[in-house]
Amino acid sequence: MISSQLVVLALAPLAVQAGFSPRATYLASASSYAGSTVSAVWPPPGATNTALDAYFPDANQVGNTGPTPTGDEAEAIATAPAAKFDSVYPLTDPSASDSDSSSEFEVVKHWGSLSPWYSVQSKDLPESSPEIPQGCSITQVHLLHRHGARYPTEGSALASLAEKVHNASTGAGFSASGPLAFLNTWTYKLGAELLTPFGREQLYDLGVAFRIRYGHLLEGFDQLPVFRTTSEARMVDSALNFAAGFFGVQSYQTDYHQLIMEEPVDNIAYNNTLAPFYSCPNFGGNGRSLGEWEEKYLQPALERISSMIQGINFTISDMAAMQQTCIYEMVALGFSEFCGLFTEEEWRGFDYLLDVEFWYYFGPGNPASAAAGLGWVAELVARLTETPITSPVGEVNTTLANNTTFPLNQPIYVDATHDTVISTILTTMNFTSLAKSGPLPFDHIPANLSYVASQFSPFASNLVGQVLSCPSSGTPSHIRWVLNDAVLPLTGLGSCPEDPNGLCPLDVFVKGMKDRINEIDYEYDCFANLTVPDPDTIVDGRYPAYLRNGTA
């Protein structure tokens, strides 16, 4: 029997003689199914048969579990050097088209908010670490995390690209060659918005890591914890996978309470601090188009890739869709041929495209961002001060703001949300170090960029507030914030002092947050008929005072 490897070796010389590149397909033109959408369903239809359950008893029914004594809870955040996470296993780490063996460029870190999360070193506090500073001990932790990697948004440009390819393959036909030859037999295998297997892994791993770092805080509970998420499928799945990693797969369903808050849909507003999209109509845009930057950084790619195909006229928008297809195929399927079509410079361009989008649509450059994150910050202050919320603040759901669904005495708080909401909350909390390089230009990437979406809001992003007891400092309680392992300076918050470890006295921080809440005019910023200044010089997520007062 001849192995498939020997067959490839035998055919390769013929392909070269015929003038094909080594990566080219042997087909003269695209298949008629190129660009078509394919999907799978699990479990198979009709496979579920509860009558068979009796044959497969669970572990409690089987018994004989062996020894089960538990050990003490871990406290690695205080007892061990901080571990850095920098892996996309089991994905195949892609390379840019012009990368060689000596290149240190990492494509996956240049996907903006679509990057898998990785440990970031603080740019402003280079000597700091997520590890608890000497002389302090942790008493409480607040985790705000994003969902894991998912399929693309329903109706996205990726599906439109696939439709364009399929229409060409079933019409007059097309033929792709060189690095693009895979398009001749490519099919679209992506669903919409659901968590991918890699996304499940990300949140499970985050749960395990959080238990190892902060598990000892469980000893401070006398009731089961309440963790929160929203009702979208990827949000619920992320929360459950986190819990499975944190508590363990055999017990997580009984070890805590999962509060699922209804996600707004179809522009119907529900008060939900983890999904404030429709409660604040002015949030989510400022009228600026991203096309100017796309035209600039993708023009070389359009010319290069267009030379590899006959029968389809690609556009700049198609190039951007191909970059996104690379990313979503990677996090869903483990590999994508689209990734290698683009150069290092073009991936830097894509990365910056999302930086610009987040800055002006969901971050410091949007006049309603600070208002949209107001509700969660009010909840944070309530938790830190153990003070009930008795009146509406921003998007707080007052029906759920009770001791059962919004407890105020937990040593551990966990909230799951979206990338845009994390960006908004960072703006509301006035982390000025992130905004210091703004406003962001549309015609070039500035040097020393401080606002990098892949570092503050990637898939599985996590913002951690550590409440610390530091008796040796003379001030009993402090707080600091760690974003994807990077400690953030708090000097933009009221009277928080400069500190190499990002520490701020807790009472000073709380006062700064209360002052920030009081200065934000939620009704005006969210509902007024705002005209965004051009150029947009906003850097704090608030409508400028000189326009607000009618003095322009």
The tens digit of pLDDT for each residue in 109-145 reads 999 999 999 999 999 999 999 999 999 999 999 999 9
Residue 25 has pLDDT above 70, yes or no: no
Q: Are 263 and 231 in contact (CB under 8 A)?
A: yes
Structure confidence at residue 214 (pLDDT): 97
Residue 382 burial (CB count, 10 A): 18
Single-letter amino acid, residue 43: P
pLDDT at 49: 72
Query: How would residue 62 be classed by pLDDT, with cut points 50, 70 and 90?
Result: confident
**CATH classification code of 112-152+194-287+354-547:** 3.40.50.1240
pLDDT of residue 424: 97
Q: How confident is the model at residue 287 (pLDDT cuts 50, 70, 90)?
A: low
E strand intervals along 287-334:
309-310
Distance (Å, rounded) from C-alpha 209 to C-alpha 228?
Answer: 19
Q: Of the given ranges (38-52, 177-191, 400-414, 456-470), which has the lowest mean pLDDT?
A: 38-52
Give yes or no for residue 483 having a pLDDT over 90: yes
Beta carbons of 396 and 271 less than 8 angstroms apart:
yes
Tokens 């914890």 identify what position? 225
Instruction: Identify the DSSP state of 476.
Output: S
Tell me what percent of the residues of the chain surpass a pLDDT of 90: 74
Asked if pLDDT for residue 52 goes beyond 90, the answer is: no
Residue 486 clears pLDDT 80, i.e. is over it: yes
pLDDT value for 372: 96
Better-scored residue on pLDDT, 59 or 387: 387
Q: Which residue has the higher pLDDT, 238 or 69?
A: 238
Mean of pLDDT values over 150-154: 95
Listed in sequence order, the DSSP H helices in 109-232 are 157-170, 197-214
**What pLDDT is attached to residue 41?**
83
Give yes or no for a contact between 282 and 148, defined as CB atoms under 8 angstroms apart.
Answer: no
- pTM summary value: 0.91
52 φ/ψ angles, rounded to the nearest 5 degrees: -85, -5
Boundaries of every domain in the chain: 112-152+194-287+354-547, 157-193+288-341
Q: Is 441 left (phi over 0), alpha (psi -120 to 50) or beta?
A: beta
Mean pLDDT, residues 211-240 taken together? 97
d(C-alpha 43, C-alpha 48), whole Å: 7
Query: Which residue, 232, 531, 527, 546, is CA-closest to 394?
Result: 527
Q: What angle do CA 473, 384, 117 make, to 5 degrees?
A: 90
Whether residue 19 has pLDDT greater than 70: no
What pLDDT, on the 0 to 100 scale, is given for residue 265?
76
Give the C-alpha separation, 358 to 352, whole Å: 10
pLDDT band of 72, cuts 50, 70, 90: confident
Cβ atoms of 342 and 327 within 8 Å: the answer is no
Distances (CA, A) of 12 to 7, 9, 140: 9, 5, 62
Q: Which residue has the higher pLDDT, 101 or 354?
A: 354
Which residue is associated with the tokens 């008493």?
139
Residue bearing tokens 């495209």 = 353
CB of 435 within 8 A of CB of 370? no
The predicted model gives 250-254 an average pLDDT of 93
Cβ atoms 435, 540 nearer than 8 A: yes
- pLDDT value at position 55? 84
Which tokens in the block code for residue 401? 């703001």
Q: Is a pLDDT exceeding 70 seen at residue 3? A: no
Instruction: In whole angstroms, give the CA distance from residue 133 to residue 479.
Output: 11
Q: Is the dihedral of CA 184, 189, 192, 193 positive or negative?
A: negative
Percent of the chain with pLDDT strictly greater than 70: 94
- DSSP string covering 427-449: HHTT-HHHHTTPSPPSSSPPTT-
Residue 468 to residues 140, 494, 548, Cα–Cα distance (Å): 7, 19, 39
Cα 491 from Cα 464, distance rounded (Å) = 17
Alpha helices by DSSP H, 363-493: 369-372, 374-385, 419-428, 432-435, 453-456
Asked if pLDDT for residue 27 goes beyond 80, the answer is no
Mean pLDDT, range 262-270, rounded to an integer: 79
Q: Give dist(CA 550, CA 217) in Å, integer.
A: 51
Query: At 116, phi and psi to the nearest 5?
Result: -70, 145
Per-residue model confidence (pLDDT) at position 244: 98
Q: Tell me, what's the pLDDT at 83?
A: 79
Residue 112 contacts residue 439 (beta carbons within 8 Å): no
Which segment of 48-57, 364-373, 388-397, 415-424 scores lowest on mean pLDDT? Answer: 48-57
Average pLDDT (432-440) is: 94
User: Nearest Cα to 360, choosing from 492, 535, 490?
Assistant: 535
> Nearest CA to 517 among 361, 355, 385?
385
> Quick one: DSSP state of residue 51?
G
User: What value does the mean pLDDT take over residues 318-345?
Assistant: 97
Angle at 399 between CA 398 and CA 402, to 5 degrees: 85
What rounded mean pLDDT belongs to the chain? 90
